[in-house]
Amino acid sequence: MNRKQFILVLLALALIGGAGLVLLHRNQESWTIREAKAGDKVLPNFRLNDAAAIHIKGSADLNVVRKNGLWCVRERGDYPADYQQIRDLLIRIRDLKVVQSEKIGPSQLGRVDLDEPGKGTGGGTLIEFTDAQGKVLDSLLAGKKHLRPRNESVPIGLHGLFDGRYILLPSDPGNVLLISDELPSVAPEPASWLSRDFFKVEHIKSLSLVFTNGANLWTLLRENESWPWTLADGKPGEVLDTNIASQTAEIPGFLSFVDVVPNAIPSETGLNKPMLVFIETFDDLFYTLKIGAQGTEGNYYMAVAVTSALPVERATSRDEKLDERKKLNEEFQDRTRKLRDKLAKEQALAKWVYAVDPRIITALVRDRAQLLEKKTIASEPGAAANKVPLAATQ
């Protein structure tokens, strides 16, 4: 074998060796991507206790983050998030299992809503979980929900319309997985992640509606919770409709909100010239509801302030026996502690502005004539002047 032949043999061996290394590398890559099988966990290494933030991107972009041990929604001024919803999602993500997998091309992803998030029609919803250092723990793209097969023997809606959802994993973007969980809590709207714990106005003693200029429109009050409501400044000929009065006074006990309004500007929300509802309770708590204008979606802007006049000591009686006094003191201390906890919780909620359903506001902010029995309305010459000018705040 001459020198030229020897060099050719070496080159051939090098080519064969290189090809072998390429094939080996490809085989190693295929081994590192685990083929998804029915029953496999989607994210087998998901560490739910390490999750410190959830980023969701779809039609909107939001971040639910844990700050100082509490979950909050960043896009709503760090308003408290619904902990149960978060906990439920983390557990569901940990337990997700594959029902089936299918290789499809990028052009087909829109059919199952797994295109790029925020793209519009056909776009998916990205869900990312990060730890306290901002490192992504796991992520997935959630797509179209899977309709439950129709069973004529089972009533429609008994088990819900959906029985799963299509998803993609960033590590295997060409493999669409069908999971057995529709992930109902995953929504890109910030309002859907807010905690719904709100002001709970109980044991109302008096309720007043006041104009911005301080003119009192009406005041409802009662001596104790078992007594009927009365009109504080009733005029001759006015007869209070006790059913309407009771309905009006019940509304503060069921306050709720549609959304939180971050960075609210008083002049734009009407809260610089609000209608005022003053509430005093038998628990020595005082609420002021400031009701502004209606927003573009028809909801009213509302802010709430809470103060108290909780007694420091219990008023005692000379006739009290020692055992009785001890029991009453313990009951007083327990009640005071609960009220202080309630006050602290509600004062923490008072720093935000809320968007409130107009049905709640119209049921609460009634004009004086609406509180009277119908037969007395015509006899009140100033009834028209007492009409609540909600439209003026818009």
Identify the pLDDT of residue 147.
79
- Model pTM? 0.80
**Shared-domain flag, residues 365 and 252:** yes
pLDDT at 364 over 90: yes
Higher-pLDDT residue of 232 and 30 is: 232
Identify the pLDDT of residue 301.
98
The alpha carbon of 299 is separated from its chain's Cα centroid by a whole number of angstroms, namely: 16
- Residue 68 makes CB contacts below 8 A (sequence gap 6+) with none
The domain of 309 spans 204-393
Higher-pLDDT residue of 317 and 272 is: 272
The answer to whether residue 330 is domain-embedded is: yes
Identify the pLDDT of residue 22.
42
Identify the pLDDT of residue 357.
97
The answer to whether residue 41 is domain-embedded is: no
The answer to whether residue 53 is domain-embedded is: yes
**Shared-domain flag, residues 186 and 217:** no
Q: Give the mean model confidence (pLDDT) for residues 87-114.
A: 90
Render the burial of 284-315: b for 16+ CB within 10 Å, e for the rest: bbbbbbbbbbbbeeebbbbbbebebeeeeeee
Number of compact structural domains in the chain: 2
Higher-pLDDT residue of 50 and 331 is: 50
Q: Which of 168, 193, 218 is the last residue of a domain?
A: 193
314 pLDDT tier (thresholds 50, 70, 90): confident
The answer to whether residue 11 is domain-embedded is: no
Identify the pLDDT of residue 227.
93
Identify the pLDDT of residue 257.
97
Question: What are the tokens at 75?
Answer: 């896009």
Q: Give the mean model confidence (pLDDT) for residues 186-207.
A: 94
Higher-pLDDT residue of 5 and 99 is: 99
**Shared-domain flag, residues 133 and 268:** no
**Shared-domain flag, residues 99 and 210:** no
The answer to whether residue 27 is domain-embedded is: no
Identify the pLDDT of residue 391.
46
Mean of all residue pLDDT scores within the chain: 84
Identify the pLDDT of residue 153.
57
pLDDT, tens digit, 9 for 90 and up, residues 25-48: 443 333 333 456 778 899 999 999
Asked whether the beta carbons of 125 and 186 are under 8 A apart, the reply is yes
Least confident of 2-16, 132-146, 256-270: 2-16
Identify the pLDDT of residue 1.
56
**Shared-domain flag, residues 170 and 291:** no
**Shared-domain flag, residues 291 and 320:** yes
**Shared-domain flag, residues 188 and 211:** no
The alpha carbon of 57 is separated from its chain's Cα centroid by a whole number of angstroms, namely: 17
The answer to whether residue 250 is domain-embedded is: yes
Least confident of 5-9, 238-242, 314-318: 5-9
Least confident of 10-19, 75-84, 132-141, 373-382: 10-19
**Shared-domain flag, residues 290 and 311:** yes
pLDDT at 112 over 70: yes
Ramachandran angles phi, psi of 296, nearest 5°: -65, -25
Identify the pLDDT of residue 279.
97
Q: Which of 193, 226, 257 is the last residue of a domain?
A: 193
Identify the pLDDT of residue 281.
96
Ramachandran angles phi, psi of 54, nearest 5°: -125, 120
**Shared-domain flag, residues 236 and 271:** yes
**Shared-domain flag, residues 241 and 357:** yes
Choose from 18-27, 179-188, 295-304, 368-377 the range with maximum mean pLDDT: 295-304
Identify the pLDDT of residue 325.
74
Higher-pLDDT residue of 390 and 260 is: 260
Higher-pLDDT residue of 345 and 317 is: 345
Asked whether the beta carbons of 83 and 71 are under 8 A apart, the reply is yes
Least confident of 5-14, 98-107, 145-154, 224-233: 5-14
Identify the pLDDT of residue 8.
53
The answer to whether residue 35 is domain-embedded is: no
Q: Give the mean model confidence (pLDDT) for residues 151-170.
A: 69
pLDDT at 345 over 70: yes
Identify the pLDDT of residue 33.
37
Identify the pLDDT of residue 21.
44
The answer to whether residue 189 is domain-embedded is: yes
Q: Which of 193, 213, 245 is the last residue of a domain?
A: 193
**Shared-domain flag, residues 96 and 216:** no
**Shared-domain flag, residues 170 and 232:** no
Identify the pLDDT of residue 15.
55
Q: Give the mean model confidence (pLDDT) for residues 128-134.
A: 95
